[in-house]
């Protein structure tokens, strides 16, 4: 076998081992324990820095719960998708029961999680607010991936009509890191009034030009909001 082919094979092994380990939710240390190998050995294998014996390929595959050939399969991504898609389909079926038609559109999957944790129900007419509670109170729902941005989006055509609608309801802000929900806060119209005043003034000062998606800082939400949920412990209800 040529040096190039050996390098390609080693790289393929390293990529598939790392990928399957992550899918299984295993750390390098846990995988090493299952294989009865040293963690640094697993690390060097996953970096493509070490030649690996057939015996160790079999040990790693057994620990990962796959056939050894799966570690050499260039179509492993497709197989992984095939394996997990039935679970995605079940999640979608569950979401439909809560009024969310597509978990991949408009943060549908995240909205479902927020609804279940807060006890809210989605409002189907999107020209209104986003959700409603058992007492008929309506809410705006906002989410942010804190790994990517430090502020919440609002509305792409902010104007006095939209602001008047916002002044009537509480807002629920969900803070994510990737797909992991970390915190949920509630802010009242009084909490958000400084922003409403600022946006109204800007709209009038610019001759009635709609404001494109003014932001609400994540820090402001944490400072002023009532904490409804924390990833370590659900702390209170929304009222």
Write down the catalytic residue from 67, 83, 106, 142. 142
- Reply yes or no on whether 142 is catalytic: yes
Write down the catalytic residue from 46, 130, 170, 183. 130
Q: Tens digits of per-residue pLDDT, 73-115? A: 776 677 788 889 999 999 999 999 998 989 988 889 999 999 9
Domains of the chain: 3-74 (1.10.260.40), 99-230 (3.40.210.10)
Which two three-digit tokens encode residue 147?
A: 């790994």
Name the pLDDT band for 220 (thresholds 50, 70, 90): very high
Name the pLDDT band for 3 (thresholds 50, 70, 90): very low
Residue 159 and residue 207 in contact, taking contact as beta carbons nearer than 8 Å: no
Say what the pLDDT of residue 5 is: 54
- For 48-188, where are the alpha helices, taking DSSP H only? 54-64, 76-97, 108-118, 160-166
Q: 45-49, 207-211, 234-238: which has the highest mean pLDDT?
A: 207-211
- Reply yes or no on whether 130 is catalytic: yes
Distance CA 110, CA 37 (A): 39
The chain-wide mean pLDDT, for the chain, equals 90
Say what the pLDDT of residue 4 is: 41
Q: Is the pLDDT of residue 7 over 90?
A: no
Write down the catalytic residue from 46, 110, 140, 186. 140
Residue of 5, 1, 4, 12 whose CA lies nearest to 71: 12
Averaged pLDDT, 39-68: 92
More confident residue, 60 or 4: 60
């Amino acid at each position: 076998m040529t040096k190039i082919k050996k390098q390609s094979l080693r790289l393929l092994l390293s990529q598939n081992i790392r990928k399957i380990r992550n899918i299984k939710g295993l750390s390098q240390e846990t995988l090493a324990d299952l294989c009865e190998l040293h963690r640094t050995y697993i690390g060097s294998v996953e970096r493509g820095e070490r030649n690996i014996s057939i015996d160790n390929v079999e040990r790693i595959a057994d620990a990962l719960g796959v056939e050894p050939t799966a570690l050499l399969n260039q179509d492993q991504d497709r197989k992984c998708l095939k394996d997990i898609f039935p679970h995605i389909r079940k999640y979608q079926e569950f979401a439909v029961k809560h009024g969310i038609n597509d978990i991949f559109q408009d943060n549908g999957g995240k909205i479902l999680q927020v609804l279940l944790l807060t006890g809210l129900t989605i409002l189907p007419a999107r020209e209104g607010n986003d959700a409603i509670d058992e007492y008929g109170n309506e809410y705006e729902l906002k989410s942010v991936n804190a790994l990517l941005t430090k502020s919440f989006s609002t509305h792409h055509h902010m104007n006095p009509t939209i602001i008047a609608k916002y002044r009537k309801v509480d807002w629920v802000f969900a803070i994510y890191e990737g797909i992991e929900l970390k915190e949920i806060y509630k802010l009242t119209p009084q909490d958000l009034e400084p922003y409403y005043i600022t946006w109204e003034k800007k709209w009038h000062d610019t001759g009635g030009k709609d404001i494109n998606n003014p932001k609400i800082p994540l820090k402001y939400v944490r400072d002023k909001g009532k904490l409804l949920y924390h990833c370590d412990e659900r702390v209170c209800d929304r009222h």
